[in-house]
Structures are given as structure tokens and as C-alpha cells.
Amino acid sequence: MADPMDDSDPLQARLLRWSEGHAAAMVVAAWAAATGSPMGWLSFCGLVSFSVLVYCGRRRWTPSGRFGPANGVTLLRLCGVLALPWLAPRSIVYWGLILFALDGADGWIARRTGLSSEFGESFDKESDAFFTLMLCVLLYRLPGGLGAWILVPGLLRYLFVLFVKFAKPGESPKEQRTAKAGWIFCLMTLTLLFSFAAYPGHLDAWRPLAIVMTLVLVYSFGETLRLMYRGPRRRPQG
């Protein structure tokens, strides 16, 4: 069995193994937080798991080997997500909008500096998923907040990873991020943030949109699975 910290191990394989372990850890941590454990434990589990990810990618964070400014922005955004449990609902809105704005900055910086990498893509994607999970659990934990169904969008990424691990659909375990999926993530994040803005007096009016966006996100993951099962299109021989 390959050592996950072996420098000779392909980076993609390392990232995949980390993602699978991270998914299992986040499902357990989210369940604990949803059932009454301090929200700080979810932040702590995220901190430990992402620290392992950064260590796994050492010397291959970017094509040049250094960590790079784009990954630095992602790390800054992740630190902001880890701090969310200690903020009041109204503060989460403003803080979350700043984190949301930073989400587009890391990719732009990576492209401008020529430092795009597999690690950076994975770091960004998993930080996005953790942001969604944190917002969903916090909304569930609010007194008079949303029901347990709001945990679904937060857990979808992790359940998807675990399903792919055991079901092994298609020829490749790596899913592709599409522009449509990116837009759905953006709309889901804004819906969650504005749910905090509507709390407590107007949350019921915002609930239908949150339900609709949850269903749209489920559809997006289902579409990704369908494409993975179908496999890459082959050009006809002629």
C-alpha cells in the first residue's frame, strides 16, 4: 500500500485519498455538530484535515513548487470559514460575502501568475465545500432556524466523494467542474448567506428559495454522476 506522504506518489492519487478520508471525517464532524457538539469541533476537524492536505501537497503546491499567492488567498479564505462559528448571524452575512468575493480571486491570481495546479484546484474546491457545510450546520443550529434538510447541501460533496469511492462509476474517479455547477454553487452560497440576513423575522419567507436551491444542487451532483457513469465521449473512427 502506498504511503500517502511518499513524495514519489502521484499527486492526483494523494489528493484523491485525502479527499476520501476528509469526506468521511466531515460527515462525522457535521453529524456531531448537528446533534449538539460545540461548533468549534467542526472548525477544529476542518483545521486538522486541511493541514494534512497542505502537507500532502508540499513541494508540489504549484508548478514551481512554492505555495504561491493564489493558494495563499485560498488559505486566507479557509481561515475565515473556520472562524464562522464565533460570529453572530448578522456578522456571518458580511463576513461570508467577503469570503465569497475572495473565492473568485484565487483562480484569477493563479491564471495570471501561471501557477495553476492540481493542488490549487483541489484546495479551492474543498474549501468551497467546507464553506457550504459550515453555513448549513450553522443555519440548522440557529434557534428556530431551518430544518434538518438544510444539512443536505452541506453534506452533498462529501457523500458524493464516498459514493464514488465505493461505487466506482465510469473510467475515472475525478469529476469535472463545469461552468453550470460553478454558477449553482454561487447561487447556493448566496442563498445560505441571505438566509442569515433574513433571520429571525423573515426566515420563513426565504425558506422556499433555500429548498429550491437545495434541489438544484442535488440535480447538479446527479448530473455529474451521470457524466461519470457515461464516461468520456469517443470520436467515431473514420
DSSP three-state, residue 141: helix
Residue-averaged pLDDT of the chain: 87
Looking at per-residue confidence, does 41 or 175 come out higher? 41
C-alpha distances in Å from residue 67, one per residue of 11, 58, 70, 123, 187: 15, 8, 8, 12, 30
Q: Provide the percentage of residues in the chain whose pLDDT is more than 70.
A: 89
pLDDT recorded at residue 107: 80
pLDDT in tens, 168-195: 775 555 566 677 888 888 999 999 999 9
How far apart are alpha carbons 11 and 146 in whole angstroms?
Answer: 39
Name the 3-class secondary structure at 59.
Answer: coil
Work out whether the CA dihedral 128, 187, 199, 105 comes out positive or negative.
positive
Q: How far apart are CA 73 and CA 238, in angstroms?
A: 48
Helix %, strand %, coil % of the chain (to 5): 75, 0, 25
pLDDT of residue 3: 44
CA–CA separation, 178 and 182 (whole Å): 6
One DSSP character per residue, 133-164 reads HHHHHHHHHSTT---GGGHHHHHHHHHHHHHH
Residue 111 CA to its chain's centroid (Å): 21
Closest CA to 213 of 183, 196, 181, 188: 188
In this structure, are residues 27 and 161 in contact, taking their beta carbons and an 8 Å threshold?
A: no
pLDDT per residue over 191-216, tens digit each? Answer: 999 999 999 888 888 899 999 999 99
Three-state SS at 143? coil
pLDDT tens across 92-105, in order?
Answer: 999 999 999 888 88
Q: Check pLDDT > 60 for residue 126.
A: yes
Residue 74 has pLDDT above 80, yes or no: yes
Find the range with the poorest average confidence among 53-57, 108-112, 177-181, 186-190. 177-181
Contact 140, 133 (CB under 8 A): no
| Proportion of the chain above pLDDT 90, given as a percent | 56
User: Where are the domains positioned within the chain?
Assistant: 11-229
pLDDT the model gives residue 139: 94
- Say what the pLDDT of residue 170 is: 59
